[in-house]
Amino acid sequence: MSDNILEIKTLNVRFGGILAVNDISLDVRRGKIVTLIGANGAGKSTILRSVSGIVKPVHGEILFEGENIMGLTPEQIVKKGITLVPEGRRVFPNLTVLENLKMGAYLRKDDYEKDLSYVYRLFPRLEERSWQSAGTLSGGEQQMLAVGRALMSSPKLIMMDEPSLGLAPLVVRDIFSIIRTINENGITVLLIEQNANMALKTCDYGYVIETGNITMQGEGDKLLNDDRVKEAYLGKSRNG
């Protein structure tokens, strides 16, 4: 088996004639944190949605552990071990926290008690609030729930779409430390972020995406110190 848990080859996605993703190829190494950064509408979310089967690409190849998963249903893809933490948290507001977590394990036939206690250990706050409906949680707690829910399917690859969106800076730091913990426990992470600074500091490898194309790639620190990245995404001018 190759080192790459996920390989995307010349992926093309169109929305009603508009090319959202244009011939993108990228690799995700097993056990690493890989991040995609880029502006709004660059096509980052579309890539994740294609991998999880919610969006149907025009052509290209998506290999998960060497096996082409393009054209499979979201259900089959979750079963293979890929989970998406959707953008904007998207917890089920009228279900309780516990029910939300159980939804994450919906396709599992085996016992998920171990994963439940793992998630509760990771997020003690969720255990305290397990009987509360998810809509009453704060933004940060909802994001924790979204991550916990994704972990309940015991994935090999977890994909996160903007986990820091709309959260207070302190909470963002918590979320990123959780991401690192999850990764240290052996789950590969593919992360999309607007918060390029935090994302690049956390990740092992990064891709910069602009209007459907990959314009740069490299290790996190290298991108962090790259002038073009600094100017475009980190808000530092060239002379500053």
Partner 1 sequence: MWEKNKRTICNLILVGLIIVLLICIDTFAPATSMWFSVLRKVCTFALAAVSMNLLNGFTGLFSLGQAGFMLLGAYTYAIFTIPVNMRSNVFRNYGDSVIRFQMPLVLALILAGIVAAFFAFLIGLPVLRLKSDYLAIATLGFAEIVRGLVQLQSFGPVTNGPDPINMFTAPKSIMVYAAISGISILIIVLMINSTYGRAFKAIRDDEIAAEAMGINLAHHKRLSFVISSFFCGIAGAMMAMCNTSVSSVSFTTSMTYQILLVVVIGGIGSISGSIIAAFIFYASSEWWLKFLDLETYTKAGSKVPLLGPGFRMVVFSVLIMIIVLFFRQGIMGTREISVYDGIMKIRSVFVKDKAKGGESHE
Min. distance of Cβ 45 from partner 1 in angstroms? 11
| Amino acid at site 221 | D
Min. distance of Cβ 158 from partner 1 in angstroms? 11
Q: Record the tokens describing residue 82, joined without a space.
A: 């890929």
Name the segment binding partner 1 (CB under 8 A); options: 13-21, 23-31, 63-71, 85-93: 85-93
Q: x/- string (CB under 8 A) for partner 1, residues 126-165?
A: -----x-x---------------x---x------------
Query: Does residue 64 sit in helix, strand or coil?
Result: strand
Among 41, 66, 71, 93, binds partner 1 (CB under 8 A): 93
Q: Cite the beta strand spans of the chain per DSSP E.
A: 4-15, 18-29, 33-37, 59-64, 67-68, 82-85, 157-161, 188-193, 205-210, 213-219
Q: Facing residues of 37 across strands?
A: 193, 208
CA atoms in the 13 A half-sphere facing the CB of 171? 14
Min. distance of Cβ 26 from partner 1 in angstroms? 20
The DSSP secondary structure of 104-153, one letter per residue, reads HTTT--S--HHHHHHHHHH-HHHHHTTTSBGGGS-HHHHHHHHHHHHHTT
Among 62, 78, 199, 203, binds partner 1 (CB under 8 A): 78
Question: Residue 88 in contact with residue 38, Cβ under 8 Å?
Answer: no
Instruction: Count residues near partner 1 (CB under 8 A).
Output: 29
With respect to partner 1, which residue has the nearer C-beta, 32 or 149? Answer: 149
Place of tokens 């690493």: 32
Q: Does 77 bind partner 1 (CB under 8 A)?
A: yes
Q: Record the tokens describing residue 191, joined without a space.
A: 């992360």
With respect to partner 1, which residue has the nearer C-beta, 87 or 210? Answer: 87
With respect to partner 1, which residue has the nearer C-beta, 83 or 195? Answer: 83
Q: x/- string (CB under 8 A) for partner 1, residues 30-69?
A: ----------------------x-x---------------
By CB under 8 A, name the binding residues for partner 1.
52, 54, 73-75, 77-79, 83-86, 90-96, 99, 102-104, 106-107, 131, 133, 149, 153
